[in-house]
Amino acid sequence: MNDYIEKRRRNQVKKQLRRTKPYLMGQQLDIEVDKVLGISDSGKMDWAAIQKVVVSDYPTPESITPDLVRSTAKKFGVRPYQLHWVFIQKINTLSASGRTKSDYLAVLKECVLVALKKQLTDQEKIIAVVLFSEFALTPITRLQAEIMLDQGEL
């Protein structure tokens, strides 16, 4: 019975391949069927194992430090709290969708473009400053942030 199921499956794959690639015949068709069955049986693509795996120095969102945020913001002419605000939103979006990245420094640099274009409201600025100050381990209260906003420091 098991042999019958395997033969039937092989014939179905062969039939599908003939429809999509009518130029394959004989031994070439059998090789292509073996490739398709091997990939679907192993549960992974063969070419994925060939690609070089790049290990990043920033594999998690926690590996991004306040100094790194400041230096990246200075390099691109963005305020650090604004860049951190956009970065937090991007990380929340990624985690909510169940995705992860392998290089969060690249994610931080992608957020620079968004931060350059985005104009924060006064309330968002206050929240962003408070969050960034907690991230940088120099806490600022909301009242202090409002005073800074009124004085034009933000």
Q: Give the whole-angstrom CA distance, residue 130 versus residue 133.
A: 5
Quick one: 6 and 70 in the same domain? no
Q: Are residues 97 and 21 in the same domain?
A: no
pLDDT tens-digit map of 3-48? 788 888 888 888 888 888 888 888 888 888 888 777 554 545 444 4
Q: Treating both helix axes as pointing N-terminal to C-terminal, what angle do 26-42 and 2-20 enclose, rounded to 10 degrees? A: 120
| Ramachandran class of 85: left when φ > 0, alpha when ψ lies in -120 to 50, beta otherwise | alpha
Which domain range does residue 116 map to?
Answer: 61-151
pLDDT digits (tens, 9 = 90+) for 45-93: 444 444 455 677 888 888 999 999 999 999 999 999 999 999 999 999 9
- 15 and 70 housed in the same domain: no
